[in-house]
Structure 1
Amino acid sequence: MLTQTTTRVLEPGDLGAALAVLESEPVANAFVTSRVQVAGLDPWRLGGEMWGWYDGGRLRSLCYSGANLVPICATPEAVRGFAERARRAGRRCSSIVGPAEATAYLWRLLEPSWGPAREVRAHQPLMVTEQAPATVRPDPYVRRIRKDEMDVIMPACVAMFTEEVGISPLAGDGGLLYQARVAELVGSGRSFARIEDGRVLFKAEIGAATSHACQIQGVWVDPEYRGHGLSAPGMAAVIRYALADVAPVVSLYVNDYNTPARAAYRRVGFREVGAFMSVLF
């Protein structure tokens, strides 16, 4: 029993306590929760370590340290503990992302040793909906991507990632990890698109899924078709699939400067419930 305030790497036997923390905020934590439910806390399977912050022997806060550094239900004192561990370990992540308040504090503590960042997105509204759009008809041509359509969807995924993040996902390992992730989403039936004559006009994925909530990601419209009214009906179709087959709550987060996307999301019933922040390296 840990009887004082402390931070340590969690082990497989800590799974129940970790899930209790994660599930206390099912929407905000959907991404990490979905990974932990599949992989447990073994670092090799999880793709990183899970750090736990204890107060009086009780696990209160978490921080996922892998390709992303993600504070979870993190109190200010927990953030200080996580920042100290991260400083000692050195930066191994490509981004810090999580609820805006905790992430902003974590970055303030890490910036002197980890900075400068390539980009800081300080306010990314977190949006949710629990019902199918009332006023927008789902695009009947948006459908699940088949496993034999990887060569069709992959260029659109690469274009979306490069536009959104500012670097190509094919850099480094030639895109092997990214292609594996895209294939995982296609294989699990969580990749959707409108395809005409072999060309992807709209696409989106359900990137994280638990029994309580799921998170839409990778929303993209072919640049030549932007302004043609594809986004809202396309999102309405993905929401319909998500509510019917995945979870009772659908969420996403969006850059605050992306005014057209935020308007489209509001049209299909999303409302803001909080904010994320991302620090990109």
Structure 2
Amino acid sequence: MVEERADRVHARLHRPAVRNAIDATMVDELHAVCAHLEAHPKVLILSGTPASEAPGGKGIFASGADIAQLRERRRDDALAGINSAVFDRIARLPMPVIAALEGYALGGGAELAYAADFRIGTPSLRVGNPETGLGIMAAAGATWRLRELVGEPLAKEVLLAGKVLTGEQCLAAGLVTELVEPEALLDAAQALADRIAAQDPLAVRISKAVFHTPREVHPLIDTLAQSMLFESQAKFDRMQAFLDRKKK
């Protein structure tokens, strides 16, 4: 389910009967969203099924890959990187990605959340990677993204010992930036999107790209990127507006 505004797209994972398990169809739909946002850069908000629409009245982001499909996959499927390819594409989108997380974000659902630039959660949030309990590993970004996000000791507890993080633990670890009540989750995500939209879009795009470049190319890449922005009309307009406000 996709809703689009002038400056953002909201994509909802919505397979409530199977707890939003990520199947091949959902992967294809996420690729389609990425293709659109690569051509028309906008902020992306990812969310799941809210409590009001979920079985049992409990919201859910994504419970992971569809195990029935996953069980049938073999070596060549793993080498194709089905989930890792789309999650990496999401992480590389030109504009920031916000994950609004409620309920379960497990396995592939957790790895999808790790690929976002921002994560906002609810107290009911539960994040984990139970893959080793199923005889496989979290191979769609968790082994390196989660370590970067929360540090090695906690990442190993999640990846090697099956620890499932509560919303409060996610907040304490910095995995989410904010905890809100379920009814306020999308409003909080939209408010963050509003703050991003208030910035210069080109400056945001370049800052995100530079942020994710390897350490060894800094500070050269920073200097080159800044030289581009120094020539943008938005830089002159926004700085002049700032100076005009100071005169009042």
TM-score, normalisation: structure 1: 0.24
Which one has the bigger strand percentage?
1
- Calculate the TM-score normalised by the size of structure 2: 0.26
Higher helix residue share: 2
